[in-house]
A and B are shown apart, each in its own frame.
Chain A
Amino acid sequence: MALINTLLEVNHLSISFGGLRAVDDLNLSIKKGELYGLIGPNGAGKTTAFNLLTGVYKPNEGIIRLDGKNITGLKTIEINKAGIARTFQNIRLFKDLTVLDNVKVGLHNLYSYSTLSAVLRLPSYRKVEKQMDKRAMELLEVFGLAESAHLKASQLPYGKQRKLEIARALATEPKLLLLDEPAAGMNPQETQELMSTITFIRDKFNLTILLIEHDMKLVAGICERLTVLNFGRVLAEGSTSEVLKNPEVITAYLGE
């Protein structure tokens, strides 16, 4: 029985591609409100773990529980409705939609009106669209994207595209937010800003955050606990300061 304040509980999670065990017996236990890091060398299986958690891949073995509910094997959209949202290592925005519309797609399941009221522009359409605009603008403001609301997503510079992905994920009102290398491609100053934004949204939206990151300054700066993966297996886990001192972890990184 999972503890009442555990949000994500993963047991013996495994998946193989052909002969390769990309994730091998992963166990994770993340508390509500925690900022948790998943680190490890390239190809260690971190992104694959995210794909398992979000139903992109079905695990060969193992159980995933979110807030006590078994979500193993559910479809991606059901997992999102259950409360997990994510960003992608290779940015996946709706590139021909505006920045605002990208976030409004994230709001899709929280607001509703009929097809008919949209086509006829009935008052319910106008009212709900206004609410969606307002909510989406609030989210864009958190990430300093409000002025870019009417640009196409593909017109944003790289760093802002990463932020927009976080805003879109947050729009679905998740309990657990998964960030896959959020600082990749950012300069030190942008990374610094991102670190404060991540802690800010965790507090403002009562989130639990699991993030993958290579930037050790970011990891050491904001993650409370870490799990280190190497060749699909857990190499170490524990509080950030302990894990980063672990000789095995240091070797795994230097040996890369």
Chain B
Amino acid sequence: MKELFKKNKDTLITLGIVTGAYIVIEILLKAGALSSLFKGLLVPLCAYIILAVSLNLTVGILGELSLGHAGFMCIGAFTSAFFSKITVGVINPGWLRFVFAILIGFFFAGLFGFLIGMPVLRLKGDYLAIVTLAFGEIIKNIINVLYIGRDSKGLHFSIKDSVSLGLEEDGQMLINGAQGITGTPKDSTFTAGFILIMITLVIILNFIKSREGRAVMAIRDNVIAAESVGINVTKYKLLAFSLSAALAGVAGVLYSHNLNSLMATTKNFGYNMSIMILVFVVLGGIGSIRGSVISAIILTLLPELLRGLSTYRMLIYAIVLIAMMLFNWAPSARAFRERMVAKLPFFKKKSAEKEV
């Protein structure tokens, strides 16, 4: 038991932090101490944490740059919302339908990750950044011109307008171009978000500590050496990238089932979102999963907490960004942190092991 704890110490600490934060927020919620604005931020926050952690798998563990993480989130959001909308009332109870929706978001986002990664990750050189950037924008634009409706004759598709669907009078719009999907069942809750964060963390942290995760990190550290010991570079790059995309899809499911009206805009699924997630990852420490969680929490909540200080808000935000960067990346700060950690009896001896 003790040995089990020691071996998984890093994982358990990370899961503990998330559980602690969840309990504190739940207590505050029960006590009615949170503003409605703050409450409204909880589910998106869970989605951002999942996005940051999953992007870190690509950026920190695989060592490839992706600028289209929001694109995979978008795939997960729309495929799952579409599914939930057509099965609401068909699949009962609601939580079961939501579980299916999550699996669908996971699967389709992962599939797109695989299809994009397959040609791009074979190439030597940094082509992934540019291709994912284009992918994110293209997906968003396609959804904005996509019309799907349903009537007694079945499903109708168009990429022109809603009229050309030729729906019968009692027909139902499912995806309405730029207006997206309305009336997705609101299945996402803060607790569901918490559970999905925990599952994501377990998947990623256990993956990193497996034979395949080591192969991925070996490729990151030295491709030629990895090949020389028989590691199939393309296979493991694809595996890590597809898993990262699939989990971004799960974040999309959480996000879309929290909204009455789901639209693909620059703000939620575009370039801005991809960059924001990348900022979380970079400031939390590339390759540090725990860092991604913490930085996503701080950087999402901070602007809201500072709202009262309207004039100085952005200034303080900027100072926090800089402070986090210094804390995480300055060599002296890193050495200081490692010394501090080494002092805790709990961490003795193993401090040199990479925290993940």
Contact = CB atoms under 8 A, between A and B. Distances in A.
A115 B212 contact: yes
Range, interface on chain A = 35 or more
Contact of B228 (A80, A97, A115, A151): A80
B289 to A, nearest CB: 14
Contacts, number: 109
B354 A152 contact: yes
B222 A94 contact: yes
A172 B229 contact: yes
Contacts of A172: 229-230
Contacts of B217: 94, 96-97, 101
A155 B229 contact: no
Nearest to B351: A150
Given A105-B214, A108-B211, A118 B206 contact: yes
Contacts of A118: 206-207, 209-213
Interface in A138-193: 150-152, 155, 168-169, 171-172
- Classify the interface of chain B: helix, strand, loop or mixed: helix
Interface string A57-94: 00000000000000000011100110001101000111
A106 interface: yes
A88 B225 CA distance: 8
A54 interface: yes
A152 B352 contact: yes
Contacts of A101: 214, 217
Contact of A105 (B202, B203, B224, B229): B229
Given A105-B218, A119-B202, A80 B230 contact: yes
Contacts of A115: 207, 210, 212, 239
Nearest to B225: A92
A112 interface: yes
Given A77-B232, A93-B221, A105 B215 contact: yes
Contacts of A95: 221-222
A168 B227 CA distance: 12
Contacts of B232: 77
Nearest to A151: B352
Contacts of A46: none
A17 interface: no
A211 B217 CA distance: 28
A119 B208 CA distance: 9
B214 A97 contact: yes
Interface in B331-356: 349-350, 352-354
Contacts of B349: 150
B207 A77 contact: no
Given A85-B229, A169-B229, A172-B230, A93 B222 contact: yes
Given A105-B218, A118-B211, 6 more contacts: A85-B229, A94-B218, A95-B222, A97-B218, A108-B211, A120-B206
18 contacts: A81-B230, A85-B228, A92-B228, A94-B217, A94-B218, A96-B221, A96-B354, A97-B217, A98-B354, A106-B229, A108-B211, A108-B230, A111-B211, A118-B206, A118-B210, A119-B202, A151-B352, A152-B352
Interface of A: 54, 56, 75-77, 80-81, 85-86, 88, 92-98, 101, 104-106, 108-109, 111-113, 115, 118-121, 125, 128-129, 132, 150-152, 155, 168-169, 171-172
